[in-house]
Structure 1
Amino acid sequence: MAFDGTCVACLVHELKEQLLNSRIAKIAQPETDELLLTLKSSSGQKRLCISASASLPLIYLTDSNKPSPMTAPNFCMLLRKHISNGRIVDIYQPKLERIIHFTIEHLDELGDLCRKDLVVEIMGKHSNIIFCTEDGMVIDSIKHVSAQMSSVREVLPGREYFIPDTMEKSDPLSVEEPDFIRLLTEKPMPLSKAIYTSFTGVSPVVAEEVCSLSGVDSSVTPKELSEDILKHVYNQFNIFFLAVKENQFSPAIYYDGKEPKEFSALTLTHFGGYAQREFSSISEVLETYYASKNTITRIRQKSADLRHIVQTALERNRKKYDLQLKQLKDTENRDKYKVYGELINTYGYNLDAGAKKLEALNYYTNEMVTIPLDGTKTPQENAQRYFDKYNKQKRTWEALSKLIQETGDDITYLESISTALDIALTEDDLAEIKEELISAGYMRRKFTKKKVKIKNKPLHYISSDGFHIYVGKNNLQNDELTFSFAVGNDWWFHAKGAPGSHVIVKSEGEELPDKTFEEAGRLAAYYSKSRGSDKVEIDYIEKKHVKKPKGAKPGFVVYYTNYSLVIDSDISHIKELS
């Protein structure tokens, strides 16, 4: 979700409660586009992190510190000169813009009391931190924006500060019903887009929520709606933003399994399918959300090389598999040539010399067949030619059948590694997958060093009924779980016909309740290629019936009898243990 105006409003409310009248004790600039302010108040010390990063602009209260460069950058030195030991006397947000103003009271060089503004603009790649005089002149900014960079607004020392209104959006907190309806009906676009392009600080997610609350399809255009429906949409819009006016915020993160999907300062009812975790602070939401997002992003970046190796091998094997199937199809008529040879030996004794064909009764089917002949050869030579052709195609069929099985197994194996890469959450997970690829011959070990011992544990959950459930994160862990960790009466789960994790439920000799079966099935569905599906078929069986064929690849098992259940892949209510 965009760091939109509602989140900024929630943050301003929080900062006012905690930072008003606090003094700026320390100013640091740990990154070229980031400030870290240490503030002291009667309630104790607080740190405010402000980032104007083009990829991840943020502002939030934090307990953690960051190392600063030995020599402070110029912007940091300027702030220290002017507002070090200054007092924050006001924090406000103009309209519902993604902008926060900090009004700071301090003593100038002559000892006179004066005020300055530190303006934080959270606007994607245009984000900035701008230091201004009380009357709105730019003293300096963390990013300089010249006329060559922007034709809308220069951000340079000595220029006047103003908020560029490039899209002429209205304030959602003060819009009246007639103006609301007029603004929407003027735009020939879907309703949700018309909402977020008409009002400041409204993100696409908030626009979807307004449509959902109104019970209106967000894809229809406003002109298709009657005036009564548009009035209803306005009422829901007004109710939603009344919470912003009254500071009735409910910060939360919405999770798709373990992955944070969205965050919001207000409840999003149309996200009912996701697990919701509520927080008392929007700063905690931002820090948690982006820390989790950064972890997932970092792991995906680190796994890029492994993904490339797996994807390349998959594409090569799929092409090979298709070619082998095509070649196998060419051998489908091999038995016909054997019959032709037999019929020539049976009926060819009365053929005329140089005959081009033989019409004979096929005694296997009781049908007449016409057999093409080579007129330069004897009947015996023609028969032998067909027998040779049959034997050649039979050998080809036997060899291809074996190769197709091997290639199919390779594809399934590589797909299981691809699924393991999707599941991976730590560098140890990637290291274990890399070791597996080296062992399987898809990668070479660098520097010929010995095999690294990786201490990596499977995922551990506990069911609602108190049974311990373990989930393998890759093929090596799957084998370890199933054939070393699990005992005969433990239960084994796996998504049917899809690459995924082995899931083991420790039964401790007891009979499992139905709910535990369902929760283990959900885990098997979630940690498989079928993640996200509403209906996933799961095979489950006691571990003692699961076997590993001799010479099979890691993670491969066979079983000849099993139970099945169909379940969704929502694991949000299953407790994970560390």
Structure 2
Amino acid sequence: MSIILFIILLLFLIGQQVFFEVFQILCYTDFRLIRNEESEMAFDGIVVANLAYELKEKLINGRISKIAQPETDELLLTVKSASGQYRLLISADASLPLLYLTDTNKPSPMTAPNFCMLLRKHISGGRIVDIYQPGLERIIHFKIEHLDELGDLCRKELIIEIMGKHSNIIFCSEDGKIIDSIKHVSAQMSSVREVLPGRDYFVPDTMSKADPLTVSFEEFSSHLTRKPMPVSKAIYTSFTGISPVTAEEICSLAEMDSSIAAKEYSEDLLLHLYTQFSIYLSAVKEHTFTPVIYFNGSEPKEFAALPLSHFSNYMPKEFSSISQVLETYYATRNQLTRIRQKSADLRHVVQTALERNRKKYDLQLRQLKDTESRDKYKVYGELINTYGYNVAPGEKKLEALNYYTNEIVSIPLDPVRTPQENAQRYFAKYNKQKRTFEALTVLCKETAEEISYLESVQTALDIALTENDLAEIKEELTNSGYIRRRYTKKKVKIKNKPLHYISSDGFHIYVGKNNLQNDQLTFHFAVGNDWWFHAKQAPGSHVIVRTNGAELPDTTFEEAARLAAYYSSMRGSDKVEIDYVEKKQVKKPGGGKPGFVVYYTNYSMVIDSNISQIRLCAD
């Protein structure tokens, strides 16, 4: 209520037009912050150094033949150099700033935006004479030589700032004056720096960070020891271009606990840390980069320009180019994000059904608990029939010996009824609760199975990687009656395959991505001597190991169990119990839902859900 009153007061004091302008700026700033928080990864100075070196190798002396602006905050430059033609994608998007070479073209709008037209006027046909990174900042400068309207040789600078929500593409004259930028930043939006035509360009030193490439041991030690925080945080908050991941890597290489404050370490240990810090960053000075992506299964978890030894739990994949790393990483992450967005409707259907069934199950259990006293009413009826001849008319209770327990019990009576009528009343209560118990027992079992099934569909949605995966899950939900089928003239056949891995020993392992695939794998694909794996009492995938009659080594058993743990609701756990058994022991009960099986004898093992070392086949 106080916020509403504040807005009304603000509207009254400053006027409607000014209010909406201020409100728009605030919303724009907050929205950018929210979007930036959603982005897990960000360029650090080492990645930008790798990019600058790669671009310098390929684009120097190249001419800019095409300039396009496919998105509001994105440029696509085509550069022809001696080594070939390249496309350079530059994005200043607040949530996903990007800069890399790509083979992919993007359609441009019919009418080019003003910033694009300005660049075409000034640097179309211009020659790139230098590309450099100031210090280890997340900034790349392109110096471009071109002829002006009078035919005189001029130089301009295109400056790309990869700084999260502050990312921008700024076009400057040779003397450092801003000609224009893809995003205008006024004094209302930033009190630190305006990015507007006619202003001087500068990089605001808001964090007072030191240059890690030139820092001495004395400066290094002074920066770390004066900060009362973990040593890894002190590193990335003290030096330009160092990310938290890089700081953790340096501490790992030095074999030092990153959570302890630097002032707790002796000078010798700090010198050892400085030595590892310098060795690690020497690769930046020498341009010996190793672009790599670290995968957790099929999901990329991190990328880097230099190796990360403390990511040993993930599968590294090295690339020859940092541009390939960025394009692969963000394309895969975007695909996962897009699939999660497209699965929102299916998730809503499943979640709604789950909540309804869980409420129903709780109610059924409470009702079932109310029937626990049914046998008592049967005994009361029998005891009244046995001892009722002693009951005087109008009595409200009967004290009698319970010959089942040899205890005296007090049985309430209805004084207006005869003993026989009281006995019949208790027998009627018993029979009613007995019927209720029998019906509820069946209903509780059915509801529990329904909840288990819906949880398995929920897990399948978490596993889904492609639109075909979602289409198959939708078909499953339609067949189960959760989604109404829409009849069309042409039925599209869904082509989808289970995941295919190869164990360290060369055995083929298949993983179902949903319940339909689980049934297909277990009962149509696998043969009797193949091995079947599943997380114990948890929704998840069926995992089949093809034996071809051979005996499985222990390593293959463990890797198949890890896959069963990873593709289940227990993903991420260090200890997951896995049931495994020969496929011929697995049966499908009559009328069972998709993916539901029974087995009466099995082996079990407890294992982690790390599958980074298991090879995924491309088919």
Q: TM-score, normalised by structure 1?
A: 0.95
Distance 1:297 1:348 in 2: 74
- 1:129 matched to 2:166: no
1:384 to 387, 401, 424: 424
Matched residue, 1:333: 373
* Change in CA separation of 1:304 and 1:237 when aligned onto 2, cut-off 3 Å: same
* Change in CA separation of 1:463 and 1:227 when aligned onto 2, cut-off 3 Å: closer
Shift of 1:457: 1.7
Matched residue, 1:362: 402
Matched residue, 1:300: 340
- 1:565 matched to 2:605: yes
- 1:267 matched to 2:307: yes
Matched residue, 2:255: 215
Matched residue, 1:114: 154
* Secondary structure in 1 matching 2:395: coil
Shift of 1:225: 4.2
Where do residues 196-207 of structure 1 align in structure 2 (5 Å cutoff)? 196-207=236-247
Matched residue, 1:66: 106
Q: Is the 8 A contact 2:314 2:613 kept in 1?
A: no
Q: Which amino acid aligns with 2:248?
A: E
Matched residue, 1:515: 555
Matched residue, 1:533: 573
Distance 2:107 2:258 in 1: 46
**What are the superposed Cα offsets for residues 419-469 of structure 1, whole Å, 9 maximum, x if unpaired?**
111111111110111111111111112466676421222222333444333
Distance 1:459 1:281 in 2: 28
Stretch of structure 1 that moved more, 367-376 or 406-415 = 367-376
- 1:166 matched to 2:206: yes
Shift of 1:326: 2.0
Structure 2: gaps spanning 5 or more residues: 1-40
Shift of 1:224: 4.4
2:443 to 399, 403, 410: 403
Distance 1:468 1:188 in 2: 52
Matched residue, 1:254: 294
* Secondary structure in 1 matching 2:552: coil
Where do residues 121-520 of structure 1 align in structure 2 (5 Å cutoff)? 121-446=161-486, 452-520=492-560
Matched residue, 1:104: 144
Distance 2:508 2:269 in 1: 52
* Secondary structure in 2 matching 1:27: strand
Distance 1:494 1:131 in 2: 58
* Secondary structure in 1 matching 2:561: helix
Q: Which amino acid aligns with 2:533?
A: F
Distance 2:266 2:472 in 1: 60
Q: Which amino acid aligns with 1:571?
A: I
Distance 1:178 1:51 in 2: 39
Shift of 1:48: 1.4
Distance 1:415 1:569 in 2: 19
Matched residue, 2:18: none
Q: TM-score, normalised by structure 2?
A: 0.89
Q: Which amino acid aligns with 1:93?
A: Q
Q: Which amino acid aligns with 2:42?
A: A
Distance 1:383 1:217 in 2: 77
Shift of 1:475: 0.8
Stretch of structure 1 that moved more, 558-567 or 85-94 = 558-567
Distance 1:46 1:453 in 2: 39
**What are the superposed Cα offsets for residues 173-224 of structure 1, whole Å, 9 maximum, x if unpaired?**
2223333333334333333333222222122212222333333333334444
**What are the superposed Cα offsets for residues 124-182 of structure 1, whole Å, 9 maximum, x if unpaired?**
12111111111100011111222222222111111110111222222222223333333
**What are the superposed Cα offsets for residues 535-570 of structure 1, whole Å, 9 maximum, x if unpaired?**
322222222222111111111111112233333323
2:123 to 83, 86, 99: 83
* Change in CA separation of 1:231 and 1:435 when aligned onto 2, cut-off 3 Å: same
Shift of 1:55: 1.6
- 1:551 matched to 2:591: yes
Matched residue, 2:7: none
Stretch of structure 1 that moved more, 453-462 or 546-555 = 453-462
Q: Which amino acid aligns with 1:128?
A: N
Q: Which amino acid aligns with 2:120?
A: R
* Change in CA separation of 1:525 and 1:449 when aligned onto 2, cut-off 3 Å: farther
Matched residue, 2:9: none
* Change in CA separation of 1:216 and 1:379 when aligned onto 2, cut-off 3 Å: farther
* Secondary structure in 1 matching 2:238: coil
**What are the superposed Cα offsets for residues 84-135 of structure 1, whole Å, 9 maximum, x if unpaired?**
2222221111121110011112222222222111100001121111111111
* Secondary structure in 2 matching 1:35: strand
Distance 1:264 1:203 in 2: 10
Structure 1: gaps spanning 5 or more residues: none
Distance 2:267 2:539 in 1: 52
* Secondary structure in 2 matching 1:433: helix
Q: Which amino acid aligns with 1:72?
A: A
Q: Is the 8 A contact 2:236 2:247 kept in 1?
A: yes
Q: Which amino acid aligns with 2:528?
A: G
* Secondary structure in 2 matching 1:330: helix
Distance 2:173 2:224 in 1: 38
Distance 1:188 1:466 in 2: 52
Matched residue, 2:134: 94
Q: Which amino acid aligns with 1:556?
A: F
Distance 1:178 1:352 in 2: 104
Matched residue, 1:35: 75
Matched residue, 2:32: none
* Secondary structure in 1 matching 2:241: coil
Distance 2:557 2:229 in 1: 47
* Change in CA separation of 1:429 and 1:350 when aligned onto 2, cut-off 3 Å: same
Stretch of structure 1 that moved more, 392-401 or 296-305 = 392-401
* Change in CA separation of 1:453 and 1:170 when aligned onto 2, cut-off 3 Å: same
* Secondary structure in 2 matching 1:253: strand
Distance 1:339 1:454 in 2: 61
Shift of 1:228: 4.5
* Secondary structure in 2 matching 1:333: helix
* Change in CA separation of 1:235 and 1:323 when aligned onto 2, cut-off 3 Å: farther
* Secondary structure in 2 matching 1:358: strand
Q: Percent identity of the aligned residues?
A: 78
Stretch of structure 1 that moved more, 222-231 or 30-39 = 222-231
**What are the superposed Cα offsets for residues 264-296 of structure 1, whole Å, 9 maximum, x if unpaired?**
111112211111111121111101101111111
Q: Is the 8 A contact 2:313 2:612 kept in 1?
A: no
